[in-house]
Structure 1
Amino acid sequence: MNYARKLAAIGISSVLAVSLAACGVKEEANQNQPAASNNANTAGSNKAIKLRIMWWGSQARHDATLKALDLYTKKNPNVTFEPEYQAWDGYLDKMSTMAAARNLPDIIQTDAAWISDWGSTNRLMDLTNAINTKDVDPVLLDTGKYKDKLVAIPLGNNAFGLVYNKAAVEKLGITPPKYGWTWDDFFKFGKEAKAKLDKNKYVYKDLTTDGMYDAYQLAKGKGWPRADGKFNYDKETWLDWMNKFAEMRAAGIVPPADVNISDKGADAKLDLMIQDKVLFRNSHAAEFSGFDALKPGQLALVTIPQDKQAGGWLKASMYWSISPDTKNAEEAKKFVDWFINDPEAADILGTSRGVPVSKKIVSGLESKFTPIDKAGIELINKTAPNAQTFYPGPGIKNGWDKFDKEYTNIVQQIMFDKITPEKAWEQVEKLGKEIK
């Protein structure tokens, strides 16, 4: 599994794909001439076009996106959509299967961790100079590049942090964590909160396999575990992390392994935080509105704990990419341009994919930001001053695909008490030596 962004992706795919008829996006086309503007169909064509489009996210993101698609069709009556959407789990596997069959949707939501693999195999269209990005921060835009090709258009600014049930924490009579807290604070809070929780309630998800180790090693000043595509796991830090979570499993601060792997983030029925089984889980700022929709007014965000350095980072929340096999390339490009630049679209989408990338759009929306929007923006602002430089990972090349698969298996064995962290490290280190 890709390590940097594929957080909370352990388990069986929870596919929520819904048929076009069920979601209410219009299919009819007519012969009206599309409006000629920067953010609408300017080709002068009235040919009926249907664009397939796929994304992952929460129900809140699904609803907002579907409304935006409906608006685009109203502005461009000859263009309709065939949307496919689901939760995060299983999304990359589905996208990869489609790519292998040369059956990718015209427009696909992508993640930074995939750009190296997909860009190097020409599975994403080069969008250099094809989209109006003059109001997008150049540094953010560059995160969507593979070498000199722009293969992914950023859709939101984002920060990695933690979301927690503030209402439940306050009910327990515990002071909620504050921005800037440390890893020592994190482990101390776990013990304090568990002492006041019922037996089958837990403080944190077991973060052993959730990519959070990256944040821990960064905070210790040891760099990314896969820095520059090389094996850079620090033995002392890794064993410290694994042993601390083993202790927390034994103490009931985190759930037993069988409970933990049942979790699916932002799923109304399977998310452990939403089901009140844990108080905390990892999250991105862009995901907060989706979590809040499932537990309105009860949740809050906090930065990743720090140590010698910060543990959190900023990144683009996600991207739109276009399939190189699309038969509707120009219309797909126009849609992506419209999606990031049109004020009416921005009113609908809000911060469902993070803080919008267009500075002009953000300025126009500022007075309309909800408290939930502002919470996500605050996490970004609190993370930014000392944020780690985001590294999307090496992809699956040079043996990392085998490493990903085996690493997850090894760490799950630790969680199920099948192997000690020390014995597990021997296997991880052996795998690391196979990286080319």
Structure 2
Amino acid sequence: MGKRWLKSKGWAMLTLAVVLTMTACSGNSGNGGNQGSEPSSATETAAAGGASGAAATLSIMWWGSDVRHEATKKALDIYSQQFPNVKFKPEFMAWDAYWQKLPTLAASKSITDVLQMDAAYIQEYVSRGQLEDLSDIDLTGIVDPNVLKNLQIDGKLYGIPLSQNAQGLAYNKTELEQLGIPLPHKDWTYDEFFQWARDARAKLPEGKYPIGDTSTWDGFNYYQTAMGKPPIMSDGGKTFTLDKELFMKFYGIYDDFRKNKIVPPAELAASFLENDPQADPMASGVVLTRGATTGSVSALEQLMPGQLGVVNLQTGPAGGGWAQSTIFLSVSANSKNKEEAKKFVKWFIMDQEAGKALGLTRGLPINPEIFKELEPTLEAKDLLGKEIYDMSVDKALPFYSPAAGFSEWVDTYKKEMDAVSFGQQSIEEAFNKIDKLGKELAAKAG
């Protein structure tokens, strides 16, 4: 999910998001560089199904922090020790640099054999024909079948999920208990969430708010899909569905909340900066809840040690929220080492030694056996992330990323809804502009 994802967790996802500060979907800042991984021993394991006898050099690229870089290089060394015929040509960089470079490589059909991929962009690269179908890799017993089903694009798998991730809500458990406000509960509905916010407002002093405002597209998409309607974008962006009745109802509630000081005023909300000790809406003590993911909640826990509780996102008749991996290893459709690359990406999530080396650098490992090995060493912040996932998975809907070519629409959505928040236009005026642009982009995609 990316570092842009959750500024309201919102879609920031593309920019964003969010929020996700690590994110199992997220990219942290780090230094870029290349380093070859030389083989050092001839140990073999059956984990990857055995490597071919022919010598091969796999190029691989990923984004992340320096901690992730070092851990990944250790894993590559382990692979070359187990399979001495395979060497690596790694390249690693920060999130922004990665997504600036990848389109250039795609245009020249020179993407690395193996590459890290994010849920916000995988649909786009699949639509360009840049990623190999990995459906023939047997992940039985490693990845939950329901998770795999949600990850498929047109019935095929284009990325091996690396970690568990889910969207939930963090809340200031300590302060809510002190104020006598009931704690949020698992599988609460949208109606219960809205009423909880109204009731909590009555017990809060001036300058404090039970929930935050929302102006990004994914916040409403959660609501629309929870109510049993299609996602806003589907079929690669060819189908666009923005339900006006639900849109007017959802944002009408938030408009009422602004008037009644249930959410912060627009000027204050615009100043929030997640995970900043002074400007984070929760860490600053201004808002008692905010969006968090399995990957991002640890950063908030470090700002508010021992004070947090977590719950899954609000639900509707169809379910609610999402729980799946948002960060993957993919294989280039133009790779000349496809079979070797496929063996490697499966090994990456099932080898015990690699699992220990990688730790939580890409979130909670998707493989339950690896997680079991690491669990005794986990800190409270990491266990909160697992709690979000466990609470979310049974009601989770698929994770819906923006369709290719919809970045303009994502930005327009936020701009128009911010204008509503500041009282500069009506909800219906914003809907008409957003809906018009979405339909135009869908027609182009078709």
Superposition TM-score tier, normalisation by shorter sequence: 0.7 to 0.9
CA contact (8 A) 1:301 1:379 kept: yes
- Aligned-pair CA distance for 1:430: 3.1
Q: Which residue of 2 aligns with 1:426?
A: 432
- Aligned-pair CA distance for 1:153: 0.7
- Aligned-pair CA distance for 1:281: 1.8
Q: Which residue of 1 aligns with 2:29?
A: 17
Q: How does 1:53-202 map to 2 (within 5 A)?
A: 53-55=62-64, 63=67, 66-73=70-77, 76=80, 79=88, 81-86=90-95, 95-96=102-103, 99-100=106-107, 107-129=114-136, 135-147=142-154, 149-195=156-202, 197=204, 199-202=206-209
User: Aligned partners of 1:304, 1:374: CA distance in 2, in Å?
Assistant: 18
CA contact (8 A) 1:183 1:305 kept: yes
CA contact (8 A) 2:248 2:428 kept: yes
Q: Quickly say closer, same or farther: Cα 1:48–1:401, change in 2 above 3 A.
A: closer
Q: Quickly say closer, same or farther: Cα 1:316–1:262, change in 2 above 3 A.
A: same
Normalised to the residue count of structure 2, the TM-score between the two structures is: 0.75
User: Aligned partners of 1:94, 1:9: CA distance in 2, in Å?
Assistant: 22
- Aligned-pair CA distance for 1:302: 0.7
Q: How does 1:394-405 map to 2 (within 5 A)?
A: 395-396=403-404, 400=406, 402-405=408-411
Residues 81-138 of structure 1 show CA distances to partners (whole Å, capped at 9, x for unaligned) of 443234xx89756654664576756544333453332112122233344676663334
Q: Which residue of 2 aligns with 1:36?
A: 44
- Aligned-pair CA distance for 1:175: 2.5
CA contact (8 A) 1:116 1:395 kept: yes
Q: Quickly say closer, same or farther: Cα 1:52–1:216, change in 2 above 3 A.
A: closer
Q: Quickly say closer, same or farther: Cα 1:35–1:170, change in 2 above 3 A.
A: same
Amino acid in the other structure paired with 1:312: G
Q: Which residue of 1 aligns with 2:331?
A: 322
**Which range moved further: 238-247 or 257-266?**
257-266
Q: Quickly say closer, same or farther: Cα 1:349–1:264, change in 2 above 3 A.
A: farther
User: Aligned partners of 1:281, 1:332: CA distance in 2, in Å?
Assistant: 39
Specify the SS of the correspondent of 1:316.
coil
Specify the SS of the correspondent of 1:125.
coil
Q: Which residue of 1 aligns with 2:20?
A: none
- Aligned-pair CA distance for 1:142: 4.2
User: Aligned partners of 1:332, 1:293: CA distance in 2, in Å?
Assistant: 37
Identity %: 30
User: Aligned partners of 1:333, 1:81: CA distance in 2, in Å?
Assistant: 16
Amino acid in the other structure paired with 1:392: Y
Corresponding position: 1:311 with 2:320: yes
Q: Which residue of 2 aligns with 1:236?
A: 245
Q: Quickly say closer, same or farther: Cα 1:353–1:313, change in 2 above 3 A.
A: same
Q: Quickly say closer, same or farther: Cα 1:302–1:19, change in 2 above 3 A.
A: same
Residues 279-329 of structure 1 show CA distances to partners (whole Å, capped at 9, x for unaligned) of 222233343334334433322211222344533333333222234466876
Amino acid in the other structure paired with 2:348: F
Q: Which residue of 2 aligns with 1:298?
A: 307
Q: Quickly say closer, same or farther: Cα 1:290–1:79, change in 2 above 3 A.
A: farther
Q: Quickly say closer, same or farther: Cα 1:107–1:167, change in 2 above 3 A.
A: farther
Specify the SS of the correspondent of 1:244.
helix
Amino acid in the other structure paired with 1:204: I
Amino acid in the other structure paired with 1:427: K
Residues 327-379 of structure 1 show CA distances to partners (whole Å, capped at 9, x for unaligned) of 87677545433321012333455566555333443555566665555544444
Q: Mark the runs of 5 or more structure 1 residues left unpaired by the alignment.
A: none
> How many residue pairs get matched?
421
Corresponding position: 1:406 with 2:408: no
Normalised to the residue count of structure 1, the TM-score between the two structures is: 0.77
- Aligned-pair CA distance for 1:151: 1.7
Q: Which residue of 2 aligns with 1:390?
A: 398
Corresponding position: 1:342 with 2:354: no
Q: Quickly say closer, same or farther: Cα 1:348–1:371, change in 2 above 3 A.
A: farther
- Aligned-pair CA distance for 1:54: 1.9
CA contact (8 A) 1:131 1:333 kept: no
Corresponding position: 1:356 with 2:362: no
Q: Mark the runs of 5 or more structure 2 residues left unpaired by the alignment.
A: 18-26, 82-86
User: Aligned partners of 1:90, 1:416: CA distance in 2, in Å?
Assistant: 34
User: Aligned partners of 1:105, 1:202: CA distance in 2, in Å?
Assistant: 48
- Aligned-pair CA distance for 1:420: 1.0
Amino acid in the other structure paired with 1:218: T
User: Aligned partners of 2:417, 2:354: CA distance in 1, in Å?
Assistant: 43
Q: Work out which of the residue numbers 243, 250, 257 in structure 1 matches 2:259.
A: 250
- Aligned-pair CA distance for 1:179: 1.3
Residues 213-259 of structure 1 show CA distances to partners (whole Å, capped at 9, x for unaligned) of 12222343444334655333222221122122223233443334344
CA contact (8 A) 1:12 1:90 kept: no
CA contact (8 A) 2:112 2:332 kept: yes
Specify the SS of the correspondent of 1:164.
strand
User: Aligned partners of 2:98, 2:418: CA distance in 1, in Å?
Assistant: 21
Specify the SS of the correspondent of 1:122.
coil
CA contact (8 A) 1:159 1:383 kept: yes
Q: How does 1:276-287 map to 2 (within 5 A)?
A: 276-287=285-296
